[in-house]
Structure 1
Amino acid sequence: MGKLSEPRKLSIRVAPLEDESMDSWLETLARRCSMSLPALISAFGLPRIDRTHRLVTGLTEHHLRQVEHRLALPPGRLDQAVVPGDLFGQRAPRCRFCPECLTETQGRWNLRWWLPWTLACSRHQALLHLVCPRCGTTPRQRVPGQVHLHRPARCLNRAARKSSVCGADLGFAPSLTLFAYHSLIGVQQQLDAIPVHGHQDPGSVFARVDALLTPVQHGRSGQLDRMSPAALSTWERTFDDINDPASQFYGWRMRERAHTALTREFLHREYDENKKSLSQLAVDFGLPYRIVIERAKELGFTVTAGSRPLTFDDRWLREQYVTHLRSTRDIGKGIGISEGPVKRRLAELGVALRPVGPYSRKEMIARLDESVPGDIRAAVEGTTHGWLRLRRFQIHMALPSLAASSAYLGVAGNSLTRQFKQLEAAIGAELVHRAARHAPQRPTLRGASLLRQLDEPQARELMQHALGPDITPMPSTAHHTDAQHSRAGPRGRRLQRQERSPDQARPGDRAPGAHPCPSTPASAPAAPFRRCRPGDLCDADPRPHRHPGPHPLRPTPPAGCRAGANRRTNECSEAEAATSTPCTP
């Protein structure tokens, strides 16, 4: 038996409809032949295709002539079923659909539904659907398999690789009808008249599309009346697809805007003379950075990788680093660059760079004037926080204890102790007599001298300049009094309550002589005094002692009080007052 001289022709044939897409016609033919679509594609000798849009944009002229010959179609007939891939770019196109058209044509898909600017059906005056109403995915993404097992116009997407197909009838999707005389209907009729078959120049097609779509996009806010919520959502998503940065149409639009805005004169003034970066120009005009670079190269401007070469004022740079003792990081931050180029330029000028780290900071290498007292200079020079330690030492000496200073400054006590030891080590003398049990802290002779030096106008001005507006204020007299009373213990707190004026009273304070029990009337007679017990403190002698006479701070509760008053303070607790019999005057 001899070899076949040419491929056999297919006996079962289906003629493609006018404006039907290649993928739709092959699917109808496979369903008519009761075979899967991949098997039909392989039988025609076409390459293996996984994505449906490749049947519309990826077939060569040789493949089209081969299929026409196998089906005895007129040469060039299938050219009307495909569009050039140059119209889409890197982004895979998404197919929209009109439910009424699918129902009328028994599941045949229009070629123009693949075009990104086909937004509505001018025949049924409705927006095209973007996704399946059941599974929410874009239809016709992958080449379906067993199409002969499903009826036409069904969604054949799969949620997972081995799951069943969606199977929704897209012909019954709700209609996204537009109101009569909507501006998009007339525009869509003109868009449908633009030829896209054959070897059309993408630029000429995009120019005509842009001229028609721009007025609709600018005035789309006034087109939202009488639209259903589903139509409004589809309307917004449709224009988002048009402005997709990965689409070829969007790239053409941005290049046209760059040609109009970025002229040679403009780039010479802004890029060369004013030293504006191309990335800044891209932000100013809302253009992609790559398109701005393309436009600059097209006009002959030199575009370097990274930042452009820097130019320094050498005299200014040396003055800032050597005279004003600014760090390289501070200089770089001031002119909007990193410290690396600053260091390299200083090395080229022969300037010795300071050590890396805190030893190159201005406060570490700065020296105070000789008129400043020696103890202040010893505490500040060669350190980063000398003025802060001196300020905290001033505050510490104005308060009676380390605990009061810690509470006022919001710094842990052990941290303050460490800072004061660093201050004493820098000056070389002890500055503080620590607080004892019955004696507050006080400065030594050297510490008192340092405090007097810090009170001088010159020292106050230097400290204010070093610490800035966030300098901690000195504690007030009221704060100092509260600290003194807090240090004196319970007796000091009682004296503090008695010394308060009526407008300074706090919750829990009571008038002198008032009984602590809340059930006792305010008119109850004053109670007799009790005698002192061992360990009590009296005003006559602050030391612990035995006192045979009446104690002025311990009144005896009235007769008949069974509220359970505390023996040492004569104060009834809330639980006792709530459960016991009220006081009887």
Structure 2
Amino acid sequence: MNGLRTLSIRVAPLPGESLDSWLEALARRCWMPLPALIAALGLPTRAGTHRLVTSLAEQDLRRLEVRLALPAGRLDEAVVPGDLFGRRSPQCRFCPQCLAETQGRWKLRWWLPWTFACTRHQALLHVLCPGCGTAPRQTVPGPVHQHRPSQCFHKPVPKKNDICGTDMSAVAPLSLSPQHPLTDVQQQLDVLDLYGHDAAERIFPAADRLLTQLENKLSTGHSAAMDTVSHQARELIFEQTTEHASLFGSWRARERARTVITPEFLNREYDASNRSLLQISKELGLPYAIVIERYKELGRSLKIGCRPRSLDDHWLREQYLVGLRSIKAIGSDIGTSEGPVKRRLIELGVTLRPTGAHSRREVLARLDESVPRDIRASVEGTFHGWLRLRRFQIHMAFPSLQATAAYLKITPSSLARQIKQLETAIGAQLFTRAAPPVPHQATDAGALLLRHLDEEHAQELMRHALGPDITPLPTKDVLANAVLTFGGSKAPLSRLPPDTALPEHLNVPAPLLPLLRHLFYDTGSETYAGEIHAATGIESSTIYVQLRRLKAAGWLRSQRELPSNRMRRAGNTRVYYSLTPAARLVPLQEFLDAEQSEEMDSPTEMGG
């Protein structure tokens, strides 16, 4: 019993099919998830589908052939040598027509970086799923037996079972014109032998030569005569086959660096023109590390930064010591990096400031003695001092922290921390917190700070520090609305004038909303307390208090029951209430929606 067990249900791999596709077809035939089949076959269970194509050891392939009763060496044609990809995950493409003909079987060559067209159907390969916009087959699909072949198994929402489900065999093909240069080059690329010793050393030069020929044919000089598909192909070739993170792309970048970066090139650009290697790498579109590598290959020694064309010692001292500018900003002005500026300052005997935030101008700047002490304490030696002062000034115009935070479009906790920083810097409490319906009040120290901030000199300094983005003070209408709604359920109900338009700002306390919902939507023209109690369940005593409150504010009018109607039934005389014409104009649904939104956002308590 030491031999490997074989599967009773088998599916033969198709010619040119990749190993991951064949295992998916086998899992669908055995009616089981693909990860479960991979584990049952003793293969490494890894997240990336490409690892089934590029990273399986030879003993794993031989063991798999035995268990599936395949000829020895049959699965060598279903995988790609790992040295063609390196550590970078390859990206699979697909031809919809091939998927439809083979019922969702994926070709091995679709994983190769230089495969971009289908020569059988004269069409460009798709790179992304049109449904979810992601590259196909990035992860091992799960329950393949429960879905149709060639579906996209990408999960748009992580940790959810819902998949994209796009049928990629039904996607419209990117057809190419007959005798298109893409298909001609692709036919030559398809015959390259992927196997044997030193595959990368043999294939990369041949693939690079063919791709270079194709790039020349699809050069910008012929772009006017190219169709949309050809433009897409050109973009695909330039981006996918020159991606520096892939092994093939980095090989092409190194070959281009060897061709372009010659001793004469460095003499002209690096030495004579005084350009840095970083600038050269950006202009050539090559990775900086590869440019450095090529530079060292030529036996040249690196110099840190680039030498500035001119450097005035007096100007340098003034900029650094008086202007408090950073070394990076100074170097940018004279066209050099930080290294030469820093070395020159040390040669001049200048003590360098600490690196990081402590060397910023706004931290080092000091105000003159004419500025009040509390303002200087709030601004000097810190970041965003003027911003905190401006927000405190705005805060004291509003009745509550929540109202100020809503105006500034920040969270109340963030505003509270900023004001606490001001109080710590000044060394005194600036205001007493609001306790609805009583708004917050400035303390003596806070009132003194507000008077100092209102002075013209302080306002000029603030406008200079904050610039054009300074937050304006709230208008009277904004403050009136904030005062009107301050206090939540304890806030006053807006009065409705009988003969004029509705007030611009309305406030409806939350406890009145259930009664108003009934009056607006669940009753006829008139109603009475007993009917309200039966429909809403509100306590009778509460109903009478709220009805009187609404009537006093001009929302309701009342009428006692006629004696003739009273004689027809038992009980006390009823008082009927109806909405006034002004109340019927109120957009009540906005208040109901806002109340519902607050209830959904608030945390709920669960009893134990």
For normalisation by structure 1, the TM-score amounts to 0.53
Cross-structure match for 1:212: 210
Structure 2 match to 1:201: 199
Structure 1 residue 185, shift from structure 2 partner: 1.2
1:61-100 correspondence to structure 2 within 5 Å: 61-100=58-97
Q: How does 1:357-368 map to 2 (within 5 A)?
A: none
Which 10-residue stretch deviates more, 267-276 or 26-35?
267-276
List per-residue Cα deviations over 1:78-123 (Å, max 9, x = no partner).
1111112332344322211112211222221110011121111111
Q: State the match for 1:147 in structure 2.
A: 144
How do residues 100-499 of structure 1 correspond to structure 2 at under 5 angstroms? 100-160=97-157, 161-220=159-218, 221=220, 222=222, 225=225, 227=227, 233=232, 236-237=235-236, 239-267=238-266, 271=270, 276-303=275-302, 306-307=304-305, 334=334, 336=336, 339-347=341-349
Give, in whole Å, the separation in 1 of the partners of 2:216 and 2:141.
39
Question: What corresponds to 1:9 in structure 2?
Answer: 6
Q: Which amino acid aligns with 1:208?
A: A
Assess if the C-alpha contact under 8 Å between 2:175 and 2:229 holds in 1.
no
Q: CA deviation at 1:47?
A: 1.2
CA shift digits 1:536-576 (9 cap, x unpaired): xxxxxxxxxxxxxxxxxxxxxxxxxxxxxxxxxxxxxxxxx
Q: Aligned-pair distance for 1:331?
A: 9.2
Work out whether residues 203 and 252 of structure 1, in 8 Å CA contact, stay in contact via their aligned partners in 2. Answer: no
- 1:143 Cα shift? 0.5
For 2:300, give the aligned amino acid: F
Distance of 2:269 and 2:215 partners within structure 1 = 31
Q: Is the 8 A contact 1:179 1:226 kept in 2?
A: no
Whole-angstrom CA distance in 1 between matches of 2:74 and 2:309:
68
* Alpha-carbon distance in structure 1 between the residues aligned to 2:115 and 2:63: 30
| Partners of 1:331 and 1:342 within 8 A in 2 | no
What is the identity, as a one-letter code, of the residue corresponding to 2:186? Answer: Q
In structure 1, distance between residues paired with 2:235 and 2:275 = 35
Instruction: Measure how far apart 1:71 and its partner are.
Output: 1.9
Give the letter for the 2:298 counterpart. Answer: L
- Matches of 1:196 and 1:301 in 2, distance apart? 37
> TM-score scaled to structure 2, two decimals?
0.51
Q: Contact 2:310/2:334 (CA < 8 Å) preserved in 1?
A: no
The amino acid across from 1:342 in the alignment is R
The match for 2:519 is: none
The amino acid that maps onto 1:209 is: A
Q: Distance in 2 between matches of 1:286 and 1:233?
A: 20
1:36 aligns with 2:33: yes
Unaligned stretches of 5+ residues in structure 1: 349-356, 358-412, 419-585
Q: Runs in 1 of length 4+ with deviation above 6 angstroms?
A: 310-314, 318-322, 325-332
- Contact (CA 8 Å) 2:305, 2:337: kept in 1 or not? no
Compared CA separation, residues 312 and 256, structure 1 to 2 (3 A): closer
More helix per residue: 1 or 2? 2
* Post-superposition CA distance 1:380-429 (Å, at most 9, x none): xxxxxxxxxxxxxxxxxxxxxxxxxxxxxxxxx977xx9xxxxxxxxxxx
CA separation of 1:264 and 1:72: change in aligned 2, threshold 3 A: same
Give the direction of change, closer, same or farther, for the CA distance of 1:225–1:343 in structure 2 (3 Å limit). closer
Change in 2 beyond 3 A, CA 1:231/1:148 = farther
Distance in 2, matches of 1:243 and 1:79, equals 27
Post-superposition Cα deviations, 1:165-193, rounded to whole Å, max 9, x if no partner, equal 23332222112211111111111111101
For the 8 Å contact 2:309–2:334, the answer to whether it is kept is: no
CA deviation after TM superposition for structure 1 residue 51, in Å = 1.2
SS in structure 1 at match of 2:348: helix
The one-letter amino acid paired with 1:215 is Q
Query: Counterpart of 1:65 in structure 2: which amino acid?
Result: R
Q: State the secondary structure of the residue aligned to 1:347.
A: coil
Q: Within 2, Cα distance between the matches of 1:311 and 1:184? A: 48
Q: 1:212 to 1:68 in 2, by over 3 A?
A: same
Distance 1:35 1:342 in 2: 71
Structure 2 Cα separation of the partners of residues 42 and 199 of structure 1: 31
Counterpart of 2:276, as a letter, is S
For residues 283-333 of structure 1, the C-alpha deviation after alignment (integer angstroms, 9 at most, x for no partner) is 3433221111111222222236x537x79999x8699989xx999989975
| 1:461-516 CA-partner distances (Å, limit 9, x unpaired) | xxxxxxxxxxxxxxxxxxxxxxxxxxxxxxxxxxxxxxxxxxxxxxxxxxxxxxxx
Does structure 1 residue 20 correspond to structure 2 residue 17? yes
Task: Report the 3-state secondary structure (helix = DSSP H, G, I; strand = E; otherwise coil) of the residue aligned with 1:246.
Answer: coil
Amino acid at match of 2:259: T
Tell me: CA distance 1:342–1:235, structure 2 relative to 1, closer, same or farther (3 Å).
closer
CA spacing shift, 1:144–1:69, aligned 2, 3 Å? same
Distance 2:254 2:111 in 1: 24
* Bigger-Rg structure (1/2): 1
Q: CA deviation at 1:199?
A: 3.8
C-alpha spacing 1:57/1:136, structure 2 compared with 1 (3 Å): same
* Structure 2 contact 223–231 (Cα < 8 Å) conserved: no
**C-alpha distance in structure 2 between counterparts of 1:106 and 1:34, whole Å:** 16
1:27 and 1:326 map into 2 onto residues whose CA distance is 70
Report the CA distance between 1:144 and its aligned residue: 0.8
Listed one character per residue, the Cα deviations across residues 355-385 of structure 1 (whole Å, up to 9, x for unaligned) are xx9xxxxxxxxxxxxxxxxxxxxxxxxxxxx
The residue type paired with residue 192 of structure 1 is D
Distance 2:136 2:244 in 1: 22
Contact 1:89 1:246 survives alignment (8 Å): no
Deviations 1:231-279 (A, max 9, x none): 7556634543223232222211211111112224543565467654322
Aligned counterparts, 1:553-568, within 5 A: none
Shift in Å, 1:341:
2.2
CA distance in 2, matches of 1:223, 1:280: 29
What aligned pairs does 1:500-511 form with structure 2 within 5 A after superposition?
none
Give 1:38's aligned amino acid.
P
Report the number of matched residues: 349
> Which structure 2 segments of 5+ residues have no match?
351-360, 362-454, 461-608
| Letter in structure 2 aligned against 1:344 | I
Q: Find the residue that maps to 1:162 and give its secondary structure.
A: coil
Give identity over the alignment, percent. 50
Q: For 2:22 and 2:249, how far apart are their aligned partners in 1?
A: 30
Evaluate the alpha carbon distance shift between residue 284 and residue 157 of structure 1 in structure 2; reply closer, same or farther with a 3 A threshold.
closer
Cα distance in structure 2, aligned partners of 1:327 and 1:149: 70
- 1:215 offset after TM fit, Å? 2.8
> Could you tell me which amino acid in structure 2 is paired with residue 189 of structure 1?
Q
- 2:144, 2:337 → 1: CA distance? 62
C-alpha spacing 1:143/1:198, structure 2 compared with 1 (3 Å): farther
2:372 maps to none
Secondary structure of the structure 2 residue equivalent to 1:67: helix
Determine the C-alpha separation between the residues in 1 that align with 2:37 and 2:290: 43
